[in-house]
Structure 1
Amino acid sequence: MSASTSPSTQAIRFGTDGWRAVIAEGFTFENVARVAQAAADYWRDHPTPGRQNRVAIGYDRRFFSDRFAECAAEVFAANEFEVILTPVATPTPAVSLAVRDRSCIGGVMITASHNPPMFNGFKLKSHYGGSSDPETCQAVEKYLDRSPVRRMPAAEAAAQGRLDKLDLRPAHARAIRKLVDFDLLGSARLRLAHDALFGAAAGAFEDLLKNTRCKVTSLHTEHDVLFGGLSPEPIPRNYGPAIEFLRRRPHDLCLVNDGDADRLGALDGRGRPLTTHQVVCLILYHLHENRGLTGRVVKTLTLTSMVDKMCAAWGLPLLETGVGFKYICPEMIKGDVLLGAEESGGIGLPGHIPERDGLAAGLVLLELLARTGRSVGQLLRQLERRFGPHRYGRQDLHLPQDRTARLLEKLRSQPPDRLGRTPVSDIKTFDGVKIIANNGAWLMLRGSGTEPVLRIYAEAATESEVERLLRLGLRWTRQV
């Protein structure tokens, strides 16, 4: 066991969901060890009743993620924690489930989720099996470099009984099978394509559905740390190969997961991309209309306003939060939440962990098709007939954080009274600036919590109106 007495002074900040940085630039073994030591010190000083001095640690398929995870494990072991370390790349929700079900005080997931391949990250999970809240993340930041980093070689930790390697995926698979009518799925004979985007979900749906009559075709399951040249994010611009495949070989549905499998995207069986907003609305429809469930709906303010209309029609309480599942998680812990959802494809389900789970959400969407016998297109048209068309667009612009801050401050202090030709009815400023017109269209600008990027979001009844709103947002950026 060793201790370092001269920690780096490089600043480390937690963003929307943990700490992320470019590999070998900010995300180094030294910095991973610093953050692990801070988390160990924090959890030591803040014990949770009924929880053991134990952590679960997992990792995705990014470059050296397994080595970074082992580094964190060595730090926790040296600080007298019991460590459960996954031996293979593992979906984030499987780690969160293990934290909750194995009496851990917390957990760590080495992943940068959907970020470009050069990034990696350190996600903190709390004892309840979800993302640590902002207060916990800020508290861990304050513990950085309070004490020297201690590390115990993995082999020594294992010999002393402090480190156990355990595959967490089977327990997760058992848990999410219980969330759906598996007898119905087993006899449905659905044809499912699954695009893992080279991430930790590779092969997951083949395993989940192996004893059913569903036929699963898996795409992009190879371990490629460059993710085929894409960012492993379940959004239409990354669906090109899947679209081409489905046009040649139609299926009933294609599910897409991000790099650590906590988010979900989808295409219909013939290669037409669904937005994450459509995926969320389909799942909400199924949970309430087909299963008859009720409860609060919690959504981030960048998610489609169709959810608002659905909740109003069905008498479901709706709560809107800032961007990031760390704001949804506390509401799920309180209970009585029917659905928690965010624009980026993060979906939390009742009766499960207070965490987004792209595999669980995918099974629920598949259950919807099995229950109704309808195609994705038929179901979406049914929703639009009732709640109106909702078209959405997002543009990410690389912009220094100081310029983003000036732009948002200007919009807060001098908000427009019209969105194009339409009067503004409301402005929300609790996470970025969201400007809502009285016809329901909206435009929102906010800075990314993980990158020097300005995100511009828009929703309206037509594609042309969405494009016009996005252009308006871009024009505003040139004013600062």
Structure 2
Amino acid sequence: MSFKEVDTIAFDDQKPGTAGLRKSVKRFQTPHYLENFVQSVFDAVPALKGDTLVLGGDGRFYNREAAASIIRMAHANGVQRVVVGQGALLSTPAAAHLIAQEQATGGFLLTASHNPGGPDGDFGIKFNVAGGGQASAELTDRIHAISQAIERYWISELSLPSLDETGQHEIDGMVLDVVDPVSAHADLLEAQFDFPRIRQWLSEKPERFVFDALHAITGPYAREIFCRRLGAPMASVLNSQPKDDFGGGHPDPNPHDAAGFVQGFRKTSGAELGAASDGDGDRNMILGPHRMVSPCDSLAVIAANHDCIPALAGNLKGVARSMPTSRALDEVARSLEIPCHETPTGWRFFASLLEGGHIRLCGEESFGTSSDHVREKDGLWAVLAWMQMMAARGLSVDELLEAHWRRFGRHYFVRHDFALNSEQGEAVIQYLGKQADQGHPDTESPGHLMDRFHYTDPVSGHRVENQGIRLSCPDGARVVFRLSGTGTKGATLRIYLEQPVPADGDWRRDRQTVLAPLAQKAAEVAGLKSLAGRETADVII
């Protein structure tokens, strides 16, 4: 079989964000754009030659075309075996598990996570390393450096078999394995939890659970796990057919983008637990009849009730949260006398701690929670954790939360997102950075302290700088400022507000009311009105 060496020129916008390279579909359809980035990975990871590569994605528009190109490039770059999900589909946590299970050198995950799909939407690609975790900052930097100097890539003229049927194919010295994308991950999750107990809980009141797959990748996984293995009615899994445009919706499981599901769930008679996942299956939203569970609280409640989860019971040796995530988890870790690590945003930092054996549970405020069963966040794992806690404790969502606050206090938390242009975003961050370097805000704020967050990985020793700016208040409240790394245009400024209240305080108040004064202080400190002409957030979560 002949390989083609294709001359190319570098693109100046291929620096990956916190979870891979995300751009518009149209940008990825630019001739050579996808291939340049993929070749940069092959050049940065020479161990892929002669070894195994995993491939799959969330099914968004351009997924199949990208998968076919990557298989042909893998062949041309000497990969011995490619394991691809049927239909070129794999959820992100399932792909991470498959990389570990197949002892692959790594895998390409075709996803833009929670970003919109369709021909006018976004596409993304990221490389996960051996073991299933996201590429390290060092490897990401190396890939980017190669992409800026690339002059050629290799691709074969391989005729591919259908990816819609499982089976093994040998093609000109390379093995192509098309595998069921669901079963192995469902088996893994079943091994983490007490499925007979959850099945009994569901059978007592079949209408108590509703899950919205948002026409994204978790539909087939949800049908297999919740319906076939746990006995929930098929009607309890909504929008279960994956679509390349996510049904025209926004596949982000939060109360803003999934507002229709939230409203519908609250009108559903008898529903006690509502849940949703995102485009690639790594995020989760947990709902009770009267409130959404903050992802920060969700992580802390799971940690406090980890003895309900068979895979974690008796061995929660350490936990971690991203820096912007509230410190509710810290209180639980303190009571359990275990370490609580604070990392930058980005799951690769958790993956390093997981690989190093430092933690068994981790999560972030952006609706991501997982354990050490995979090296990615896992939306369905989090949903099953809440099912397990409710079944074991005999408590509702509200009762679990209130019992937690009664014991540990409450950390009121909210995130304000401001959609700015790139110049405005940079101006705000520079202004905040100058204040952080002085150690205090440039306003009349006695006792308020500001700093930049830096992090040294305790496993690799690698240090990363400027991972957000923190404002600490005398009463224990905290504000975090950072630019999002998941957008494809402009700049999203994220402001995280946190106000702790002790267990004997008033933790029944409306969170927006509690946090309103802190939000005003944050806007003043950031100079939003003068630098960006803004006072009100575009999205509040």
TM-score (norm 2): 0.82
Matches within 5 A, 1:162-241: 162-189=175-202, 191-209=208-226, 210-215=228-233, 217-241=236-260
- Give the corresponding residue for 1:277: 296
Matches within 5 A, 1:76-475: 76-81=74-79, 82-88=81-87, 89-117=89-117, 118-144=121-147, 146=150, 148-155=152-159, 159-160=171-172, 161-189=174-202, 191-209=208-226, 210-215=228-233, 217-246=236-265, 247-268=267-288, 270=289, 272-288=291-307, 291-350=313-372, 352-415=373-436, 416=440, 423-424=447-448, 427-430=451-454, 431-451=467-487, 452-461=491-500, 462-475=511-524
Matched, 1:477 2:528: yes
Alpha-carbon shift at residue 374 of structure 1 (Å) = 0.6
Structure 1 contact 419–435 (Cα < 8 Å) conserved: no
Structure 1 contact 29–68 (Cα < 8 Å) conserved: no
Whole-angstrom CA distance in 1 between matches of 2:96 and 2:416: 31
Structure 2 contact 223–240 (Cα < 8 Å) conserved: no
Structure 2 residue identity aligned to 1:331: L
Note the residue ranges of structure 1 that are not aligned, 5 or more in a row.
none
Whole-angstrom CA distance in 2 between matches of 1:414 and 1:143: 36
Whole-angstrom CA distance in 1 between matches of 2:66 and 2:377: 23
- Give the corresponding residue for 1:7: 9
Structure 2 contact 58–217 (Cα < 8 Å) conserved: yes
Whole-angstrom CA distance in 2 between matches of 1:438 and 1:292: 37
Alpha-carbon shift at residue 434 of structure 1 (Å) = 1.5
Structure 1 residue identity aligned to 2:496: Y
Pair 1:78–1:453, CA change in 2 (3 A): same
Q: Deviations over 1:146-199 (max 9, x none)?
A: 452212245258532443322232111111110111222232226321111221
**Which SS does the other structure have where 1:353 is aligned?**
coil
Q: Deviations over 1:301-346 (max 9, x none)?
A: 1111111222222212111011111111101110041311111122
Q: Deviations over 1:355-404 (max 9, x none)?
A: 21112222122111111111010000011112223222212112233433
**Structure 1 vs Structure 2: percent identity of aligned residues?**
23
Whole-angstrom CA distance in 2 between matches of 1:426 and 1:414: 7
Whole-angstrom CA distance in 1 between matches of 2:348 and 2:70: 22
Q: CA RMSD in A?
A: 2.4
Q: Deviations over 1:416-439 (max 9, x none)?
A: 459987732564433121112132
Structure 1 contact 294–338 (Cα < 8 Å) conserved: yes
Count of residues paired in the alignment = 474
Whole-angstrom CA distance in 2 between matches of 1:222 and 1:405: 40
Structure 1 residue identity aligned to 2:492: V
Pair 1:385–1:419, CA change in 2 (3 A): farther
Whole-angstrom CA distance in 2 between matches of 1:251 and 1:400: 42
- Give the corresponding residue for 2:504: none
Structure 2 residue identity aligned to 1:385: R
Whole-angstrom CA distance in 2 between matches of 1:453 and 1:211: 40
User: Larger deviation: 329-338 or 404-413?
Assistant: 404-413
Structure 2 residue identity aligned to 1:463: Q
User: Larger deviation: 390-399 or 440-449?
Assistant: 390-399
**Which SS does the other structure have where 1:238 is aligned?**
coil
Alpha-carbon shift at residue 134 of structure 1 (Å) = 1.0
Structure 1 residue identity aligned to 2:142: A
Whole-angstrom CA distance in 1 between matches of 2:239 and 2:262: 13
Structure 2 contact 5–154 (Cα < 8 Å) conserved: yes
User: Larger deviation: 141-150 or 272-281?
Assistant: 141-150
**Which SS does the other structure have where 2:219 is aligned?**
coil
Whole-angstrom CA distance in 1 between matches of 2:229 and 2:431: 57
**Which SS does the other structure have where 2:429 is aligned?**
helix
TM-score (norm 1): 0.91
**Which SS does the other structure have where 1:203 is aligned?**
helix
Alpha-carbon shift at residue 448 of structure 1 (Å) = 1.2
Alpha-carbon shift at residue 242 of structure 1 (Å) = 1.8
Whole-angstrom CA distance in 2 between matches of 1:27 and 1:457: 35
User: Larger deviation: 183-192 or 384-393?
Assistant: 183-192
Structure 1 contact 20–27 (Cα < 8 Å) conserved: no
**Which SS does the other structure have where 2:139 is aligned?**
helix
**Which SS does the other structure have where 2:61 is aligned?**
coil
Alpha-carbon shift at residue 412 of structure 1 (Å) = 2.8
Alpha-carbon shift at residue 288 of structure 1 (Å) = 5.0
Alpha-carbon shift at residue 249 of structure 1 (Å) = 3.2
Note the residue ranges of structure 2 that are not aligned, 5 or more in a row.
162-168, 455-466, 501-510, 532-541
Structure 2 residue identity aligned to 1:328: F
Pair 1:418–1:314, CA change in 2 (3 A): farther
Structure 2 contact 113–278 (Cα < 8 Å) conserved: yes
Whole-angstrom CA distance in 2 between matches of 1:34 and 1:128: 25
Whole-angstrom CA distance in 1 between matches of 2:223 and 2:116: 26
Whole-angstrom CA distance in 2 between matches of 1:90 and 1:306: 33
Structure 1 contact 185–214 (Cα < 8 Å) conserved: no
Q: Deviations over 1:219-275 (max 9, x none)?
A: 12233433344421121112322223321333231121110001111111x263222
User: Larger deviation: 180-189 or 123-132?
Assistant: 180-189
Structure 2 contact 58–90 (Cα < 8 Å) conserved: yes
Structure 2 contact 296–365 (Cα < 8 Å) conserved: yes
Alpha-carbon shift at residue 460 of structure 1 (Å) = 1.9
Q: Deviations over 1:189-218 (max 9, x none)?
A: 263211112210013222113133444601
User: Larger deviation: 458-467 or 96-105?
Assistant: 458-467
